[in-house]
Amino acid sequence: MRKKIRKSTWVALALLIYVTAMAVYFLPRNTEIGSTEKYVTLGASYVIVLVLWLVLRKKEQFKQKRKEDNKDKLKTD
């Protein structure tokens, strides 16, 4: 059976690819800001994607736990 990819994973992966592609395309062409600011911006973007992944993953875990609790509750009733 094929393993389903979690929403948290594919959303974070899509954003990671997007941020990387935009960085590769735009950062070398941008001469208005210094290289330190470029790297800080890129690093902050990656941190935001990481935090989003963690939050979505936690949300999925809560949803799964609630679903299991409801199943157990229905069995006992």
Judge whether 1 lies within some domain.
Answer: no
pTM over 0.85: no
Classify residue 2: in a domain, yes or no.
no
pLDDT at site 73: 77
Number of domains in the chain: 1
Torsion of CA 42, 54, 56, 18, to 10 degrees: 20
For residue 36, what are the domain limits?
Answer: 7-76
Distance CA 8, CA 14 (A): 10
Q: Which of 9, 5, 4, 2 is nearest to 54 (CA)?
A: 9
For residue range 5-34, what is the model confidence (pLDDT) as tens digits?
888 899 999 999 999 999 999 888 888 888
pLDDT digits (tens, 9 = 90+) for 19-76: 999 999 988 888 888 889 999 999 999 999 999 999 999 999 999 999 888 887 777 7
Tokens (6 digits) for 58: 């936690």
